[in-house]
Structure 1
């Protein structure tokens, strides 16, 4: 186990299609045996779940048998309030992890919309770290190019700008309405 302060990201699921997936982004303080971070539960199937709350807790090291490596016993609580308050706690987790913090099993429960959901004996895996979107950054659309194409009535130039916009906004939802407006403008110009 690392000594000092370190970050770990754990994915907790039973690998059944449509089952909830718990992701823990944790900051581990080995000197004080404390843990804090964010718990996120996501389930895409009905009933959908999108739970996210701060969590805190502690851990201890334990040898389960004489010839086996140390294990981590992890205890987490969470909710909109902060420790030491126990008011409105909406998350509880208890588990045993490998000494490297990337394997093990946990039981957890969380409250969403006034109803408690309990998940038992779920496998723990190291989660991939979140990386910024790979590839080149999208370039901004320049209103000048659009205005020039519109005022000159150059339909080919306007179509080129729209094609470039389509490529840029393939993954960007914020510019979709502007793109739809440009497509409508092309249709209006073609109708002339």
Structure 2
């Protein structure tokens, strides 16, 4: 079992075709045995469901026998605004999971459009948590606004001053040097008019 503070994502589903799928994104605080996060229920068949709630709760470890691995008993409640709001709870879950938080069973209910929906004996499985893709770095001209303003106004002297200032401050960067060359070409084109 993990200790400390960790994130887990769980899918809670039944084998029924078109049944709702519950996704729990949970932050588990093992020292305090508390859990918080979000619950999303999605169902694409008629009537479609797109339910969201902030959730909170507790868990305890259950060892039926010292030689057995044990289980986690998870209890969650939720609503759209969190535990300190005065909004009535719209979500409840009771589940039993393995100590690895990767599998188990749960029953839950949620209130969607004024009606409570019950899902009994659903299977819990751990969902993969995608790592964010690295954002490619693209050089951004630092003087773009000044250049655009000078171009729009047709003030050639102002455009030259902006390009000269950019050259002085950023002459060491190859990518920016290329951008400055393009701006110089634009100045030459404007002068030719």
**Alignment TM-score, normalising by the size of structure 1:** 0.66
Aligned residue for 1:96? 96
SS at match of 2:130: coil
Q: Tell me if structure 2 keeps the 8 A contact 1:81–1:88.
A: no
SS at match of 1:59: strand
Q: Tell me if structure 1 keeps the 8 A contact 2:28–2:35.
A: yes
Deviation at 1:85, TM superposition (A): 5.1
Aligned residue for 1:11? 11
The structure whose Rg is larger is 2
CA distance 1:130–1:16, change in 2 (3 Å)? farther
Q: Name segments (4+ residues, structure 1) moved above 6 Å.
A: none
SS at match of 1:67: coil
Query: Map of 1:1-192 to 2, 5 A cutoff?
Result: 1-84=1-84, 87-132=87-132
**Alignment TM-score, normalising by the size of structure 2:** 0.66
The total of aligned residue pairs comes to 137
Deviation at 1:133, TM superposition (A): 6.8
Residue segments in structure 2 that go unaligned for 5+ positions in a row:
138-193
Q: Within 2, Cα distance between the matches of 1:48 and 1:115?
A: 13
RMSD: 2.1
